[in-house]
Structure 1
């Protein structure tokens, strides 16, 4: 085991024991250069921040088609 490689909000390094492996850059790159050791707290903080950023860039749902622009529904009778 090693020390957590996380950076604290105050700017210093976390000195807790690292217990979780994290991807530095999101994606499918599982090389050692893209992995870091974090404690559970730092990993949770990083994951929450990434999730918040991803939600901010999410596209809005498609708007509904106005009734006047819709195709006519065929009469079933």
Structure 2
């Protein structure tokens, strides 16, 4: 059903337009059962907020040994030391 169209089913459920604690006739309307359930589900989902992810964070495999990451500064020092130790000819 597109926005602005009326549902052809009879209204069987009372729906609060605004404040759910305000039960005056100005705040109530009738909806068919499927549309009332859909609206209630959308309101409940919005009230809950974003759902947390169901995926666990990835962890390193306990049997794998992590190799240390190379230190670029240490590598540069090693190369400089080798250059100094090399004979000039």
Normalising by structure 1, what TM-score? Answer: 0.58
Residues 19-70 of structure 1: per-residue CA shift (max 9 Å, x gap): 111111132110000000010001001001001100117xxxxxxxxxxxxx
Q: CA RMSD in A?
A: 1.4
> How many matched pairs?
49
Which has the larger Rg? Answer: 2
Stretches of 4+ aligned residues off by more than 6 angstroms: none
Identify which of structures 1 and 2 has the higher relative contact order when contacts are C-alpha pairs closer than 8 Å and 6+ apart. 1
More helix by share: 2
Q: Which residue of 2 aligns with 1:41?
A: 34
Cα distance in 2 for residues equivalent to 1:25 and 1:18: 18
Which runs of no fewer than 5 residues in structure 2 stay unpaired? 51-89
Which runs of no fewer than 5 residues in structure 1 stay unpaired? 1-7, 58-77
SS in structure 1 of the partner of residue 26 of structure 2: helix
